[in-house]
Amino acid sequence: MSDPPGPDAPAPVASLIDVSLRYGKVVALDDITLDIPAGRMVGLLGPDGVGKSSLLALLAGARAVQQGRVQALAGDMGSRRHRRRVCPHIAYMPQGLGRNLYPTLSVEENLQFFGRLFGHQAAERRRRIDELTRDTGLTPFLARPAGKLSGGMKQKLALCCALIHDPDLLILDEPTTGVDPLARAQFWDLIARIRTGRPGMSVIVATAYMDEAQGFDWLVAMNAGRVLATGTPAELLARTGTDSLDAAFIALLPEALQRGHRAVSIPPLVAGDQTEIAIAAKDLTKRFGDFTAVDHVNLAIRQGEIFGFIGSNGSNGCGKSTTMKMLTGLLPASEGSASLFGAPVDPKDIATRRRVGYMSQSFSLYSELTVRQNLVLHARLFQLPPATIPARVAEMIRRFGLEASVDALPDRLPLGIRQRLSLAVAMVHRPELLILDEPTSGVDPIARDSLWQLMIDLARNDQVTIFISTHFMNEAGRCDRIALMHAGRVLVTGVPAELVSQRGVDALEQAFIGYLKDAGASGAATSEDAVQAPPPVVEPAAPPKRRFPFSLGRAWSYSLRETLELQRDPMRATMALLGTAILMFVFGYGISLDVENLSYAVLDRDQTGLSRNYALNLAGSRYFIEHAPITDDADLDRRMRAGELALAIEIPQGFARDLARGHQVQIGAWVDGAMPVRAETVRGYVLGMHQGWLQDQATHRLGQDAAAGPATIATRFRYNPDVRSLPAMVPAVIPMLLLMIPAMLTALSVVREKELGSIINLYVTPVTRSEFLLGKQLPYVVLAMLNFALMTLLAVTVFGVPVKGSLLALTAGALLFVIFSTGFGLFASTFTRSQIAAMFVAMIGTIIPAVQFAGMLNPVSSLEGVGYLIGQVYPATYFLTISRGVFNKGLDFVGLEPAFWPLALAVPVILGLSILLLKKQET
């Protein structure tokens, strides 16, 4: 519970009353009551997993309230009406480097997109974009894609996007995590200047950097979903009797968590004890295409030394992780060389690899194995003698404090214990070198100190060389030596205290900033101008205009953005433009119901003129191709087993004699029945030709007219006189492809936003569900109609299937149908969370009903039960009727009117369901 504000404190900008939040069985927030003062910079302090992000998401309206009451800007955030009213006054920047940005869009295009979402006209967008990019130093990079910006520049752009609409409440979720010190300093300078121009604006920040929190007006310390304490930094320090916020946070933790904690003790490294070089790198370089991740790095690390790799992380970071992977043989170097213990790095050199332990930046152990099982597995992987494994595992469990969790699964452990397990696994085979990539990221201060003490003990007591990367400057100060790295290059190497002294500054972070400026780091050249620039002049907000339920501008903003992303994604663009054409060739030629060119042979036991005449009756047909005669029964059996023959005709001995005497004669027709449909067709062909031969014999040999009689049947086929597959298949394939491909692409477009995190822009901007979905849908409707035109052209020119009816009717039906098919993709995206799941649902939900129940192969009228019901309600049935009616029967609007009404009805139904099911908040 928060402390009550003083009598002079401003009214709270936000309040939480008895708020609890759960993710399944995990408690994120536990009965929190908190008043956050207005007009201040408020910081939420705590490591990962304590509930900071969940609390901010509730305040921003991005997450639904489960229990309790959340108020922001004088209203209940559980009320949809209030959220819609205050949304233009709240700016939310989620956790992660540029998570609310679109990587393929340029800086300019991202800002234009957000400007349209908040209803700014072109001139106003231009003014705001110019002002924000000038103040942040982003003006020279307006044309650069967001995905190619450094971490600091991404955060600046994300902040610009959040500030495009002059919010009253700015919510920042760990905005500087992983950003280099220079970019962090510039970021907070920018926030300070913005607050100067907007003194009434409230800012709420979640951070894991205690040095940042020292500059905030008011702090909220959190742990395990609860509030530990609130107050100014000075008040928290006075309350705990400590001299740093790190120490104050530890002092505020419950007694049970503090038990056993001790300050980190670092015995000095005795120079000259170890002279062997554990790691050496000479001009080590790694390129990914045109991007140089590591640029001619030179290192020499002594055995038993704690060597720190310091720099930013994230996309386009400094290259720490890439360098570490090259030093362990996980990545080949593009240039230069590296050695471990004097031997060149070789992934195949198992003996050298056994001397190295590696702990990756992200948790990489087996979540389905317990703590003990993970340790045993890695001991076996490093081929420890089986007899020694139990004792070694027991030693690791004891040494790293894992006794209470030995039979637990890693996913159920706190982050700090998981990191201790990763360290124990890296040490299980007694390596001489330990490479640790960001081992304390997101870990609470007590767990961080515990991990550091373990590493220091390993280095000093066991002479293990520790090569550690971090972006925490206070951790860097614990290393024997550090290398400051930026943009793939090592700026300087030395003892932390000496580097600080050389720069003539008070702290290592200030020294790092100085080296970054000397190196011409991104933004350094413009930072001074930005800091000295006058604060932005904020004009009074215009009175709110009457808002309509649907904004064409916001919907168009999503349509334009989706179009740009498609243009810059070659794989999706190719699939969208050519996918249907490619599949049309596959289905048009690959799926054929024609039974032609069947191989057959004759076993003629009679060898008379009449038997040869019978055999020639088949040879003249376009359905059959004659092969060499069959010699005997064994030859017949062998050739049919081998698939050489689809039909074998056996003419018995005495065929001509018995027929001349008027005796009944049986001719054997052996059909390959492995494919039943083809076999039935072959049987029909054989019977028809047999009857034709009998009529011919009756007419020419006996002088009888077998067809004479009171009535005869003359069979004629309309619309497809030759009864060929292509005129039937092509009009059926077009609806199937217009259903499957657009549905799949549209579903992926929405679910992709969920995976990347940019769906947060739907939650926290004024855009409505209908604007979002219809805006996303429009480009795919246009693409689907282009595909329809292409497939119609292919049908006429390549497949030779002419359009006999009204092309306008066919186009109108196609338009209604593709609106439905893209709407089905939107519907599938509302309840799927991964692109694989969305693709699976879209494909299964379109192909199976279209093929099985829509009349593509069998008429709907021949179906029964549920299949008949699906065929009656599924829109593909009616567009298939339109397609076949126009291509084969020459119909127009009048003849096809009954098929248009169900299609027209399906469009609002599927779109309405999609809008209804899409959530405007994370639940």
Q: pLDDT tens digits, residue range 573-590?
A: 888 888 888 888 887 666
Record the tokens describing residue 15, joined without a space: 């309040």
Domain edges within the chain: 12-259, 305-519, 552-588+724-917, 598-702
Query: Beta-carbon neighbour count of residue 154 at 10 Å?
Result: 26
Q: Using the structure block, give the residue that is written with the tokens 């905005």.
A: 175
Cα 226 to the chain's mean position, in Å?
A: 32
What pairs with residue 626 in β-bridges? 600
3-state secondary structure (DSSP) of residue 507: coil
Q: Rounded to an integer, what distance in angstroms lies between the CA atom of residue 504 and that of residue 508?
A: 10
The pLDDT tens digits of the residues spanning 350-385 come to 777 778 888 876 667 788 889 999 999 999 988 889
The DSSP secondary-structure symbol of 93 reads E
For 506-514, the CB contacts below 8 A with 24+ separation are: 507/473, 508/473, 508/476, 508/477, 509/181, 509/211, 509/473, 510/181, 512/180, 512/181, 512/182, 512/310, 512/473, 512/484, 513/181, 513/182, 513/185
CATH number corresponding to 598-702: 3.40.1710.10
Record the tokens describing residue 321, joined without a space: 């992780």
Q: What is the pLDDT of residue 534?
A: 41
Q: What is the pLDDT of residue 533?
A: 41
Q: Rounded to an integer, what distance in angstroms lies between the CA atom of residue 921 and that of residue 188?
A: 29
Q: Using the structure block, give the residue that is written with the tokens 């001790």.
A: 262
Buried b (16+ CB within 10 A) or exposed e, 705-727: eeeeeeeeeeeeeeeeeeeebbb
3-class secondary structure per residue, 529-551: HHHHCCCCCCCCCCCCCCCCCCC
**Low pLDDT (below 50) residues in the chain:** 1-2, 4-5, 7, 273, 314-316, 523-544, 546
- What class, spelled out in words, does domain 305-519 have in CATH? alpha beta
3-state secondary structure (DSSP) of residue 419: helix
Closest CA to 63 of 752, 751, 826, 919: 919
Q: What is the pLDDT of residue 709?
A: 53
Q: Using the structure block, give the residue that is written with the tokens 């008043």.
A: 35
CA dihedral 696, 699, 702, 703 (to 10 degrees): -170
Name, in order, each residue with C-beta under 8 angstroms of 112's C-beta and a sequence gap of 6 or more: 125, 129
599 class by beta-carbon count within 10 Å (0-12 exposed, 13-18 middle, 19+ buried): middle
Query: Beta-carbon neighbour count of residue 862 at 10 Å?
Result: 10
Q: What is the pLDDT of residue 660?
A: 80
The beta-strand segments (E) located in 456-535 are: 465-470, 481-486, 489-494
CATH number corresponding to 12-259: 3.40.50.300
Buried b (16+ CB within 10 A) or exposed e, 820-852: bbbbbbbbbbbebeebeebbebbbebbeebbbb
Query: Beta-carbon neighbour count of residue 380 at 10 Å?
Result: 12
3-class secondary structure per residue, 544-575: CCCCCCCCHHHHHHHHHHHHHHHHCCHHHHHH
Per DSSP bridges, beta strands 67-72 and 306-310 are unpaired
Domains 12-259 and 598-702 share a fold: no
Positive or negative, the Cα torsion across 559, 560, 562, 566? positive
Q: What is the pLDDT of residue 702?
A: 62
Q: Rounded to an integer, what distance in angstroms lies between the CA atom of residue 650 and that of residue 842?
A: 51
CA angle 719, 722, 727 (to 5 degrees): 55
3-state secondary structure (DSSP) of residue 867: helix
**Phi, psi (rounded to 5 degrees) for 734:** -60, -50
Helices (H) then strands (E): counts for the chain: 34, 23
